[in-house]
Amino acid sequence: MDINDTIVDAYVRHKVEFITTVPCKQLGGVIEKCEAHPDIYHIPSNKEDEGMGLCAGAFMGGKRSSIIMQNTAIGVTINTLVTLTQYYRMPLPMLISYRGELGEPVACQAEMAVHTKALLAQLNIPTYHFHKQADADEFDKILQYTFMCNKPVAILTDASFWGGY
């Protein structure tokens, strides 16, 4: 099965109906499938902290939500993750393109890549790293876990997972 379908099907199975995205080449296929799926309200954000605000509102309105973004966004959203998502105890699966890993052609992306896991660890955010396509088999359980514990959870997906740039 196409990896984008695997991910979107899991979202739908877990009733994640409100998904916000900030564009990324690697995540382009998932974003397109979210836009096309009749059970998902796809709302593009202009910045990732805005997207987390939208997700917080949708969650309080009774809809499970998720954000799809690049790892550079961890730098942008620390305050929001801490004082909104974590402080009010809200679940938020974050499907993250892990730029700056093996195969990365853009040197600057490596600069945030080296901080990504350390920042997530500092924030006590449960973090999963998809390196091979078979790793996506855990996505189901990760979603279940996120909505069980009401925490933001990071799923880092690197270039090897997506099959290169």
Partner 1 sequence: MIRSDILRELAPTIKDTLTVMNIGLPSQEMHMIDDQPSNFYMLGTMGLASSIGLGLALAQKEKVLVVDGDGSVLTNMGTLPTIANNVADNYVLLIIDNGSYGSTGDQPTYAGAKTKLEEVAKACGCENVVVAQAEETVQAVKDALAGDKMTIIVAKCESGNIKVPVITMDPVVIRHRFMETIKERNA
CB-wise, 21 or 109, nearer to partner 1? 21
Nearest partner of 3 among 40, 41, 35, 32, judged by Cα: 32
What distance, in Å, lies between the first and last C-alpha atoms of the chain? 20
CB of 92 to partner 1, least distance (A): 12
Minimal distance in Å, beta carbon 49 to partner 1? Answer: 7
Which residue number, 40 or 113, has a Cβ lying nearer to partner 1?
40
Residue 161 phi/psi, 5° resolution?
-60, -45
Nearer to partner 1, 18 or 98 (CB): 18
Assign 106 to helix, strand or coil. coil
Nearer to partner 1, 57 or 103 (CB): 57
Helical segments of the chain, H only: 3-13, 28-36, 48-60, 72-80, 107-122, 139-149, 159-162
Residues lying near partner 1 in the complex (CB under 8 A)? 18, 41, 43-47, 49-63, 65, 79-80, 82-84, 87-90
Nearer to partner 1, 7 or 52 (CB): 52
Kindly state the DSSP code that residue 50 receives in the 8-state scheme: H
Residue 9 CB, nearest approach to partner 1 (Å): 22
Q: How far is the CB of 130 from partner 1 (least distance, A)?
A: 27
Query: Least separation, in Å, of the C-beta of 65 and partner 1?
Result: 7
Q: What angle do CA 80, 81, 84 make, to 5 degrees?
A: 60
